[in-house]
Structure 1
């Protein structure tokens, strides 16, 4: 397959027009952490990878499940523990190798390995086996009625390519390890990797032999992705013509971009909640000693101190939806009642702190990313002031996500910001990753040290419950339990504001996953 190279300088400006808008210069605050599809379960990372690699099942920008490398799926007759997936025939990897069931089995086994950060998505899977060159069976540890929704982020790799390049084990991102699969890609996706400079630039070119070439618009022939951490610089690059698409327009610049000829702002509520995580163990990570956050009265006091509507009004300039639960409204189980949050009440919060034995408050550090969520550092700064009003002296430690996520996921933080999207649109995904006791199969993002054996059993139970009415009742009970325990302090659901040249025809994806193959021209 012939591949074209694209050399792009920072100052290069290629004006897009409706007649020839082929090169899309895309800017975002942060970069993908790796190109290894099983090494890091993080939104931007998966988004960049997904331009080049594909799962069996995807979500369209509308949120609906759609066939991708699998054309159909069903529960096996007579065996409620097994799903049968029919694979798409005639698909090739970028190097021309044929995609088949052997690659699927290999990819799942790699994604299920102890080193994989994706294993929690498929914790219910017991075995994946090929039953023909274009058919696989996935057997779960019990009936799993929502299995297909859990597969949208499990990307397929070419078994022979991985083995030939000694990349069988997923990359250890936290340790700084660099592997062949971390910087190279051989996928089946709509775009192929041309070049990759971490935190500088990633260039991709359209795969003209893509199986969906005549199905999707695929107006973009080349993608130049440039992470620009500074929001002012990012917007300036957009308005000067150096960028065509900015996925995270700062709220203070929305109107300016909207009023600039040649650009449009596409908006929508994101399938993501932003919240604070709290170390609820008996001792602090930093300095050891007694941990105030282990007392639920302290956690409730902190929840009462956060003025969500002030954050919405002042920090987010209206571009957020205040939240009383960390579940986005797209997720099965969400309700207005569950999403209720307390009005800020510093005096009542102080009384709770005094009752817990902290009448003079305490000191703690808040760890926060500064290039991942919309106005993330500014939200943390606002929270520092709000908590200060009830006597909690918070030191803010903001850093790029490349350092932030390994630190937090390495259990090195007592108090941290996190945002969580739910690609399955199901509560089980949240409980699995964020609330289950942390072990090899579950709780890989439960950095709170929270452990509730009763809840653990229910989490594992809803993954297998096929009585949907009973399952819904279990989900309601589980959310009531965790809201009472106040393991996380919810802040809000983000609004999405995508800025793009007005020659493009796009729909905002609630998962904030820009899928370039869907981009068309007007």
Structure 2
């Protein structure tokens, strides 16, 4: 499915190809992240931070190129798909070694896909469509589906709740030995201090040019260290001083300050994505769809976005899940349901829904400062509408743990980049925190994912969006741009939603 425009022209992956000849080998970089990842097993987490770190250690069969098209990574080529859309034959690259020096075979791939179908939220999303996963020969895997499922290769390519390939002997539900096939391997992890990755000497890169997350992956750096820096103001000052080579997720108001720095320069991803208020649809007050609608009716998206991002240079009000430069952009369901900010009507709706003053537990973190600012504004509007608000501010790792417990929260705040395939949106999976699982969801999503005709899928996605507005599993707040910073000495790092540091080098 193509984008109407080259979305990433201004944002993520289409900077000019790196000047490979000019880059030098050697060196260590330090990357400041928003905190400590809750796990280094990317199958079992949808946290962006987990994907950012672990994409250097583990690899998937496919990934995305600079235009967000699926491209082979560990697979030799794109899958061969039968005429009925049910059989995917995947040829594997040969000569791939894991970090334990074992060779990758089809047995490892089958075991890994089965683990993904069992444990990963996006794997579980696929599992109901899968009849079998098997080996044809040591370099060929066959996936047989019960019915066509158009997003399969996109889901196999995604680095979030990722279908990573690991040795067949290391398939325990709880990963303790972090062995992948990526360009860097885990050397040491000191909780709340750093995650140290070092070059894997036996890495087999694809040939040709680097192409977004695809193509050649060069190992110029000796070592990459990911350092948790939870406080956003500390990250800003570290960027200005040049303490780190790359600083992720900065408040947008720091843009001019970083631009004036001699040590670092801002990295702007425009448009990046959208903040989301995810509802607990399984338990508590927000299990009631009418209460969820009343909460949405009370909120001012305009005030939340202004508080979070300040200047309109960094945000836009937009109720469409996708902005206008995507073929997926649709206004289905938006009218009358976005940026209503009518607290009086919301109070009446909440009362009619049977709301009796139960605390609405909002789970958020200051490590993403814009999440916290939106939560503060939302809390005031909800109080005006008669809701009791219990704001729970925790670190991001704790939030990602708590949101898996249906009894602990009613709303949690997160954000997402604009994803190339709508089926990648986490809330469409019934196992994703929020647990949206209704007949209307199933009918809309199944119709969308089983259709292989691209033009028909566009209309079917509009129906999925309308169903989301009808049943409110989450609320989109608006569109926003993201700011990071990189050292003036760092080369080969293109702006990307999940920054990656293969191809990176340090000027000497």
Equivalent residues in 2 for 1:239-318, closer than 5 Å: 239-269=240-270, 272-280=273-281, 284=284, 291=285, 294=288, 296=290, 298-318=291-311
Contact 1:272–1:419, Cα closer than 8 Å, also in 2: no
Shift in Å, 1:40: 2.1
2:146 counterpart of 1:132 = no
Q: Secondary structure at the match of 1:71?
A: coil
SS in 1 for 2:477: strand
Partner of 2:370: 375
| Secondary structure of residue in 1 paired with 2:78 | strand
User: Aligned-pair distance for 1:484?
Assistant: 2.1
Deviation at 1:334, TM superposition (A): 2.5
Q: Does 1:513 align with 2:491?
A: no
* Deviation of the 1:132 alpha carbon: 1.7
TM-score normalised to the size of structure 1?
Answer: 0.81
CA deviations 1:46-82 (Å, max 9, x no partner) are 2211101100001235423221101212334455201
Q: 1:170 maps to what in 2?
A: 173
How far is the alpha carbon of 1:195 from its aligned partner?
A: 0.5
Report SS of the residue matched to 1:212.
coil
Give, in angstroms, the shift of residue 301 of structure 1: 3.2
Q: Which shifted more, 28-37 or 17-26?
A: 17-26
2:40 counterpart residue number: 35
Instruction: Check 1:280–1:515 CA distance in 2 against 1; reply closer, same or farther (3 A cut).
Output: closer
Alignment of 1:36-75 (within 5 A): 36-75=41-80
* 1:80 counterpart SS class: coil
Contact 1:39 1:170 in 2 (8 A): no
Residues 255-295 of structure 1 deviation map (CA, whole Å, 9 limit, x = unaligned): 211110131111113654322233446x62xxxxxx47615
The answer to whether the 8 A contact 1:366-1:396 is kept is yes
2-structure distance, mates of 1:18, 1:78: 46
Deviation at 1:83, TM superposition (A): 0.9
Q: What SS does structure 1 have at the residue aligned with 2:166?
A: coil
The one-character-per-residue Cα deviations of 1:129-174 (angstroms, maximum 9, x if unpaired) are 11122111111221123321110221110123x1xxxxx3322xxx
In 2 relative to 1, CA 70–517 (structure 1 residues): closer, same or farther, beyond 3 Å?
same
Q: Say yes or no: does 1:427 pair with 2:422.
A: yes
Q: Are the aligned partners of 1:332 and 1:426 in contact in 2 as well (CA < 8 Å)?
A: no
Segments of 5+ residues of structure 1 without an aligned counterpart are 1-16, 163-167, 172-180, 285-290, 436-441
How many Å apart are 1:421 and its aligned residue? Answer: 3.4
Comparing 33-42 with 254-263, greater Cα deviation is found at 33-42
1:145-224 map, 5 Å:
145-152=150-157, 153-160=162-169, 162=170, 168-171=171-174, 181-182=175-176, 184-212=177-205, 215-224=216-225
**In the alignment, which of 465, 469, 473 is matched to residue 483 of structure 1?**
469
Equivalent pair of 2:316/2:480 in contact (CA under 8 Å): yes
Cα distance change on mapping 1:356 and 1:93 into 2, 3 Å: closer
Q: 8 Å contact 2:364–2:371 — kept in the other structure?
A: yes
When residues 141 and 338 of structure 1 are mapped into structure 2, their CA distance, relative to the original with a 3 A threshold, is same
Kindly indicate whether the alpha-carbon contact (under 8 Å) linking 2:90 and 2:141 is maintained by their aligned counterparts in 1. Answer: yes
Contact 2:308 2:371 survives alignment (8 Å):
no
Cα distance, 1:216 vs structure 2: 3.3
Distance 2:146 2:327 in 1: 22
Counterpart of 1:11 in structure 2 is none
Separation in 2, partners of 1:397, 1:274 = 18
Tell me the secondary structure at the aligned position of residue 185 of structure 2. Answer: strand
Could you give the per-residue CA deviations for residues 461-502 of structure 1, whole angstroms, max 9, x where no partner exists? 332222334433332222212212233222233422120012
Partner of 2:18: none
2:349 corresponds in structure 1 to 352
Contact (CA 8 Å) 1:275, 1:419: kept in 2 or not?
yes
Is residue 444 of structure 1 aligned with residue 431 of structure 2? Answer: yes
Where 1:463 maps in the other structure, the secondary structure is: helix
- State whether structure 2 residue 330 is matched by structure 1 residue 335: yes
CA–CA separation in structure 2 for the residues paired with 1:472 and 1:310 = 31
Number of equivalenced pairs:
468
2:93 matches 1:84: no
Question: Equivalent residue for 1:6?
Answer: none
- Tell me the residue number matched to 2:213: none
State the match for 2:124 in structure 1: 120
| CA shift digits 1:236-259 (9 cap, x unpaired) | 333333311111112232221111
Q: Is the 8 A contact 1:84 1:137 kept in 2?
A: yes
Query: What is residue 232 of structure 1 aligned with on the other side?
Result: 233
Which residue number corresponds to residue 380 of structure 2? Answer: 385
Q: Is the 8 A contact 1:331 1:427 kept in 2?
A: no
- Give the whole-Å Cα distance in 2 for the aligned partners of 1:112 and 1:18: 40
Partners of 2:38 and 2:474 lie apart in 1 by: 25
Higher mean C-alpha deviation, range 392-401 or range 186-195: 392-401
Extract unaligned runs of 5+ from structure 2: 1-21, 208-215
SS in 1 for 2:462: helix
TM-score (norm 2): 0.83
SS at match of 1:309: helix
Cα distance in structure 2, aligned partners of 1:62 and 1:100: 30
Residue aligned with 2:240, SS: helix
Q: 1:465 aligns with which of 426, 451, 456?
A: 451
**What displacement does 1:234 show?**
2.2
SS of the aligned residue for 1:210 comes to coil
8 Å contact kept, 1:279–1:294 = no
Q: Say if 1:247 and 1:121 are closer, same or farther in 2 by CA, change over 3 A.
A: farther
